[in-house]
Amino acid sequence: MGAKKPMWRVYDFYASWYDYVFGLALRHGQRKAIRMLKFRPDERVLEVGVGTGISLPFYPKHSAVVGIDICGKMLKKAEQRRQKLRLANVTLWEMDACKMGFPDHTFDKVIAAHVISVVPDPARALLEMKRVCKKGGDIVLVNHFQATKGIGARMEKAVTPLCERLGWRMDLNLEKLLHTVDLKPDFCRKANPLDSWLIVKCTNNGTRPRIVGGHT
């Protein structure tokens, strides 16, 4: 078998038609997660894995929003959206979620929607989110997480190889992930009663647990 493609190359392929195929399915959870948060004036917000910028119009104009993504073609679409909507409060950077170039404690809120199961090392990405988020700040994930029992768990196990080829994983365990990075959920809610996306909000406790190896 050939070497596995880096995930950013998979999403480079998706970039030109991502909004049409995935946009409608994903934007509801992003909008709901953002609306659940209370944004104070002049707060700094980081969106990890901003993609084509579907969520950018949902943020309040008084917040300074920074979006990062490792996929240049997706980010180009986000920049086109930013300019078209005249979102002067938004800045975009090409950056690796597992190795961000921001100083510690830069942001009041950090959001990752449909991203944590796409990065090669979810625990390291989440630990980076903790590092750049202020202590007491909000860390929000919107994602599908592994079913732990029943027919859902069996179905997910069966389709995991296919999903990995398409660019995401189905076997990410939320409880294990949060334990690895020493976070506890303030709440965990379904984005929509009819789908499997969860909105998970945590308060950053500021700890820096040491991660040995990758997280699976």
Where do the H-state alpha helices sit in 37-190? 72-84, 122-132, 150-166, 174-180
- What CA–CA distance (Å, rounded) separates 84 from 161? 38
Asked if residues 197 and 144 have their Cβ atoms less than 8 Å apart, the reply is yes
- What CA–CA distance (Å, rounded) separates 4 from 120? 11
DSSP 8-state secondary structure symbol assigned to residue 3: P
- What CA–CA distance (Å, rounded) separates 11 from 72? 9
All structural domains of the chain with their residue ranges: 7-203
| pLDDT recorded at residue 44 | 97
Between 166 and 182, the more confident residue is 182
- What CA–CA distance (Å, rounded) separates 155 from 145? 13
The string of pLDDT tens digits covering residues 184-205 is 999 999 887 766 789 999 999 9
- What CA–CA distance (Å, rounded) separates 108 from 132? 9
What fold is seen in the domain 7-203? Rossmann fold (3.40.50)
The string of pLDDT tens digits covering residues 109-152 is 999 998 998 898 999 999 999 999 999 999 999 998 875 555 54
Average pLDDT for 151-178: 63
Q: What is the CB-side half-sphere exposure of residue 59 using CA atoms within 13 A?
A: 31
Average pLDDT over all residues of the chain? 82
Residue 103 has pLDDT above 60, yes or no: yes
Q: CA 131, 23, 159, 214: dihedral to nearest 10 degrees?
A: -10
Contacts of 39 (CB under 8 A, 6+ apart): 45, 59, 60, 62, 63, 109
Three-state SS for 195?
coil
Name beta bridge partners: 185.
202
| pLDDT recorded at residue 17 | 44
Residue 39 has pLDDT above 70, yes or no: yes
Count the helix, strand and coil residues of the chain and give each as a percent rounded to the nearest 5.
35, 25, 40
- What CA–CA distance (Å, rounded) separates 7 from 58? 26
- What CA–CA distance (Å, rounded) separates 131 from 87? 27
